[in-house]
């Protein structure tokens, strides 16, 4: 018999995080703890208002299957009980952690990939004036991988400012669905000129059919349009890359399947995150080990993180301390 506990937590940010849809000053997360004997498994998710989720609705989804979890529901069972999204992510990751504790076998041993190695993660320049964005980019260093948050209001000025401040950095541009097709077409020469690696989800999900047949000068990556394996058939006609986020897939189980299927279809792969604590990042690092690009800087925005979480050493993200998760 398992004991199931959920919680809602708020983690203040050190500085505001701005994207085209709004500004965050707090990371709100839902946690799931599964206790079986002396073994404990933990998971965390970040409900996403973009998909109609709140911390209350996600906690209610978990509560609705608490009986099944107490009776021993497996990860496969949970995939049938909950849709892809934040609730399933927290539960799925808690089950991976619990199984590792019960079996004395790490998640890395189960996947066959071993413990995640340090990775270079993108560092985000949040939406602001070009001057402030340039200052933030300059502080990140010449060798950084920088993700630039923009909207439809003069994105060219923001991108130019960041490139001038960090001439040696690699750049990702993320409009968070705020562009339209005329803007995307018009900005292509600039993206090429400023050596942008790729653009992430420029158009709204559900309004991206116009990308079919579009000859983009830099790759376009699906984020909000990509959730699970079943999405890839349509995406293959519109995008060259996909962003795998556990809060969209519904946990590590589906994320591993999506990674494999994306590779079979020759997609480039990015692993991303929400603004969260390291408890969300630890499972995602197992995807990062096989991704082309890593964007897991969510905990770096917090005023404080969970003890023993990820750390940055010589510009690379290092997995949490042993025993933290998995």
Res 93: pLDDT: 98
- Please give the share of the chain, as a percent, with pLDDT higher than 70: 100
Res 205: pLDDT: 96
Q: Is the pLDDT of residue 279 over 80?
A: yes
- Would residue 132 show up in a list of annotated catalytic residues for this protein? no
* In this structure, CATH architecture of domain 123-318: Alpha-Beta Barrel (3.20)
Helix/strand/coil (H, E, C) string of 11-62?
EEEEEEEEECCEEEEEEEEEEEEEEECCEEEEEEECCCHHHCCCHHHHHHHH
| 132, 147, 245, 248: the active-site residue | 245
Model pLDDT for residues 14-47, shown as the tens digit of each residue: 999 888 788 889 999 999 999 999 999 999 999 9
pTM value is 0.96
Residues 137, 240, 90, 288: what is their CA dihedral angle, to the nearest 10 degrees? -60
Domain with CATH 3.20.20.120 in the chain: 123-318
Domain with CATH 3.30.390.10 in the chain: 3-105
Model pLDDT for residues 143-201, shown as the tens digit of each residue: 789 999 999 999 999 999 999 999 999 999 999 999 999 999 999 999 999 999 999 99
- Would residue 245 show up in a list of annotated catalytic residues for this protein? yes
CATH fold, domain 3-105, is Enolase-like; domain 1 (3.30.390)
Model pLDDT for residues 231-245, shown as the tens digit of each residue: 999 999 999 999 999
| 24, 132, 149, 257: the active-site residue | 149
Q: Is the pLDDT of residue 127 over 90?
A: yes
Model pLDDT for residues 86-118, shown as the tens digit of each residue: 999 999 999 999 999 999 999 999 999 999 999
Res 18: pLDDT: 85
Res 10: pLDDT: 98
């Amino acid at each position: 018999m398992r004991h199931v506990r959920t919680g809602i937590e708020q983690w203040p940010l050190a500085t505001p995080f701005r994207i085209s849809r709004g500004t965050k000053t707090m990371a709100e997360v839902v946690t799931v703890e599964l206790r079986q004997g002396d073994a404990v498994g933990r998971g965390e998710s970040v409900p996403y208002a973009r998909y109609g989720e709140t911390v209350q609705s996600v906690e209610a989804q978990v509560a609705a299957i608490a009986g099944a979890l107490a009776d021993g529901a497996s990860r496969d069972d949970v995939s049938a009980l909950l849709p892809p999204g934040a609730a399933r992510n927290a539960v799925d990751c808690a089950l991976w952690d619990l199984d590792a504790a019960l079996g004395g076998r790490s998640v890395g041993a189960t996947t066959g990939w071993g413990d995640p190695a340090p990775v270079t993660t993108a560092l985000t320049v949040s939406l602001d004036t070009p001057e402030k964005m340039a200052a933030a980019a300059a502080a990140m260093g010449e060798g950084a991988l920088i993700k630039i948050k923009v909207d439809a209001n003069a994105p060219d000025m923001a991108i130019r400012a960041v490139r001038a401040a960090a001439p040696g950095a690699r750049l990702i541009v993320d409009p968070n669905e705020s562009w339209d097709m005329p803007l995307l077409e018009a900005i292509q020469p600039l993206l090429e000129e400023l050596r942008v690696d790729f653009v992430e989800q420029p158009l709204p999900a559900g309004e991206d059919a116009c990308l079919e047949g579009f000859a983009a000068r830099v790759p376009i990556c699906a984020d909000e349009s990509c959730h699970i394996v079943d999405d890839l058939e349509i995406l293959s006609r519109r995008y060259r890359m996909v962003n795998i986020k556990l809060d969209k897939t519904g946990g590590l189980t589906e994320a591993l399947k999506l990674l494999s299927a994306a590779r079979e279809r020759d997609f480039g792969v990015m692993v991303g995150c929400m603004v969260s604590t390291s408890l969300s990042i630890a499972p995602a690092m197992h995807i990062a080990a096989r991704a082309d690009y890593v964007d897991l800087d969510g905990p770096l925005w917090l005023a404080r993180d969970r003890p023993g979480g990820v750390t940055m050493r010589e510009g690379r993200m290092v997995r949490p301390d042993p025993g933290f998760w998995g």
